[in-house]
Structure 1
């Protein structure tokens, strides 16, 4: 997954959802963003990307949530002390299809301000495109990570083991996020932002780990 800004001349732009995702995983993520920015990028498409990201989160999280509910039912010995399947599904649908898109809009607004301070040239629309598209580009890793997390939950693995597939998928999404934002804001390289965010994340884990323990 290269972060180089240039692309070979004459190469056709990636087309279709599957083609775009495949291009992202073969080092052409910035080309996907560039092609969208050069075309007719509408608010309807951006909203579809945001809702698609929420739907992806729902598909990824629901199996693990239901597996965890089943495990809790087995531990407590009954259904009375835990939410019903319908309640669990409803809460997850609301969280992922309503709050995830809102969260992405808020993140895009904040990142546009921050990146402008560091010399970024991208507008509000370009920033939203980069933020909204990244979760869709990371869909293969997200869904695979969710499947592995569900299997680990059913197998009775610990919290740390269950979280690892999701964390690795999150790194893929973060890379696509950084690459897309670099393209949208005219930065030549994406890896500095990726390294900084990962370093901050690891520092936060190191600081919060003793507190959680």
Structure 2
């Protein structure tokens, strides 16, 4: 299934999509592609806010975008891998039987599937700025992301699939 169709299906049932991703077998290239796709889209989502900030503060837009690129495309993946490992360890302590790969896939997929809301958040930050609308969109993203991640991690930690 195309990624966009899977993202749409995740809003209807994140567990079913996660089961399908796990059933495809362990593919680190797929997990890394999902993570890098999220990081690239997160960088794009920052552009309207950065343009607004550069306009109002007189800062150089290229410098702001360079910092965001460094942060999201080069540094964030390292932290997200560590976060996935930590959640897998916590799940193990709570009786989870899944794999390291399953925990990574759950986090990376939940992040990528929630990017439509992050893109909306970036537009609101760029066109409206800080305020109740931005906070509402951010809260909606957080709730949706945590729902996706929780459901996907629960499915991955059941341990009843072929991945090692």
TM-score w.r.t. the length of structure 2 is 0.89
The aligned length equals 159
Residue 166 of structure 1 and its aligned partner are, at CA, apart by 2.2
Structure 1 segments (4+ residues) deviating >6 Å: none
Q: Secondary structure at the match of 1:121?
A: coil
Q: Give the unaligned 5+ runs of structure 1.
A: 1-14, 74-81, 188-213
Q: Give the unaligned 5+ runs of structure 2.
A: 160-164
Greater relative contact order (Cα < 8 A, sep 6+): 2
Partner of 2:138: 166
Residues 161 and 19 (structure 1), Cα distance of their counterparts in 2 relative to 1, 3 Å cut: closer
Is the 1:149–1:163 Cα contact (8 Å) retained in structure 2?
A: no
Partner of 2:69: 93
Partner of 1:119: 95
Q: Which whole-Å deviations, capped at 9, do the CAs of 1:2-29 have from their partners, x for residues lacking one?
A: xxxxxxxxxxxxx110110111111x21
TM-score w.r.t. the length of structure 1 is 0.70
Of 117, 129, 133 in structure 1, the residue corresponding to residue 105 of structure 2 is 129
Matched, 1:46 2:31: yes
Is the 2:10–2:17 Cα contact (8 Å) retained in structure 1?
A: yes
Partner of 2:162: none
**Structure with greater helix share of residues:** 2
Q: Secondary structure at the match of 2:128?
A: helix
